[in-house]
Structure 1
Amino acid sequence: MRKRHALAVVSAGICGLVTAAPAQAAEYSSALKIKAIQYDAPGRDSNRCSGGNTKDEYLVIKNYSRTATVNLKGYVVKDATGNRFAFTANHHLQPGDFVRLRGGRGTDSDAGNVVYRQNCNFIWNNDKDTIYFYKPSGARADVHSYTKSANDRDGNGYITYHG
């Protein structure tokens, strides 16, 4: 009798795991995902708007859809401490296309695949941080945590996600 009861509990647990997996995967279903981050801008950090290197710190967001064009307007990027950037203008990513969200000031360009945060302060920590990416609905599109020692083996300040 104990064996049957234990088997029923294990079976119920496995069914619970199987049904929980799609719900979790759905939470992160998004054509847009974080492809890479240059979290540590090359050179000595300088957040001066003129002559600084915050523009060399960037996040790469890619459209992994094979068919859908996605507008970035309304998407939000945050770090672990709550620094945030919201895409307020239309910026359309064709299937397979990407954009670099750069620090510093500059002119956004669909042709140049770049959007500037219009802020000369660094957003990503050089030792560790978490990148949160949200859809306009507020649902999470993607998230990645990194530490320099664990995720950046060559120490160049650049990490790739999602191939």
Structure 2
Amino acid sequence: MRTRHALTAAATMASVVSLGLVAGTPAQAAEYSSVLKIKGVQYDAPGRDSNKCSGGNAASEYLTIKNYSRSTTVNLKGYVVKDATGNKFTFTKSHTLQPGDYVKLRGNRGTDSDAKNVVYRQNCNFIWNNDKDTIYLYKPSGARADVHAYTKKANDRDGNGYITYHG
């Protein structure tokens, strides 16, 4: 009898955890229905932080957004990326992601390239905090496509400044 109750409780808890309903466990990306998701973030650029446009390392800080669809091509024009304090970037130009394709949104100035899967923010300031932040991805309609909060201590176990969210 105890075994059955233990298994039932364990199964119930597993269902609750998979739905993200346990207090303290954010149900971040699971609640949004979008083929575009935040794949990962290099929130702490390697080396000493320098946001100088020439010789700085802001371009080494980037956000990877991936199209997880198997059949839908998505144009990023109108999508918005924001952090917890309201710093934001809006994709103002057409940039298409084929199914399974990704783009790296980099800091600094540069030439956007579909072929090289890169878009530059045309801003040399860092957007992501090195200790903790929240990353929001919004659809052109204003609906949330994805969101992830991180802390360096809890989410970057190897300390390399990069966190993966969706494989």
- Does residue 25 of structure 2 align to residue 51 of structure 1? no
Task: Give the number of the structure whose alpha-carbon radius of gyration is greater.
Answer: 1
Cα offsets for 1:123-152 (capped at 9, x unmatched)? 000000000000000000000000000000
Identity %: 83
How high is the TM-score relative to the length of structure 1? 0.84
Partner Cα distance (2:141, 2:152) in 1: 31
**What is the CA distance between 1:162 and its match in structure 2?**
1.1
Partner Cα distance (1:29, 1:44) in 2: 38
Residue 51 of structure 1 aligns to which amino acid in structure 2? G
Structure 1, gaps ≥5 residues long: 1-16
Contact between 2:39 and 2:166, CA under 8 Å: does it hold in 1? Answer: yes
Partner Cα distance (2:59, 2:142) in 1: 27
Pick closer, same or farther for the CA change 1:54–1:30 going to 2, 3 Å. Answer: same
Partner Cα distance (1:109, 1:25) in 2: 27
Residue 71 of structure 1 aligns to which amino acid in structure 2? N
**What is the CA distance between 1:83 and its match in structure 2?**
0.1
Partner Cα distance (1:123, 1:62) in 2: 19
Moved segments of 4+, more than 6 Å: none
Cα offsets for 1:81-138 (capped at 9, x unmatched)? 0000000000000000000000000000000000000000000000000000000000
CA RMSD of aligned residues (A): 1.9
Partner Cα distance (2:141, 2:36) in 1: 14
- Does residue 96 of structure 2 align to residue 92 of structure 1? yes
How high is the TM-score relative to the length of structure 2? 0.82
Q: 2:100 is paired with a residue of what secondary structure?
A: coil
Higher helix share: 1
Partner Cα distance (1:130, 1:67) in 2: 29
Cα offsets for 1:58-80 (capped at 9, x unmatched)? 00000000000000000000000
User: Could you tell me which of 48, 63, 66 is aligned with 2:67?
Assistant: 63
Residue 9 of structure 2 is matched in structure 1 by none
Equivalenced residue count is: 143
Partner Cα distance (1:125, 1:39) in 2: 7
Q: 1:33 is paired with a residue of what secondary structure?
A: strand
Residue 10 of structure 1 is matched in structure 2 by none
Structure 2, gaps ≥5 residues long: 1-15, 21-27
Contact between 2:43 and 2:162, CA under 8 Å: does it hold in 1? Answer: yes
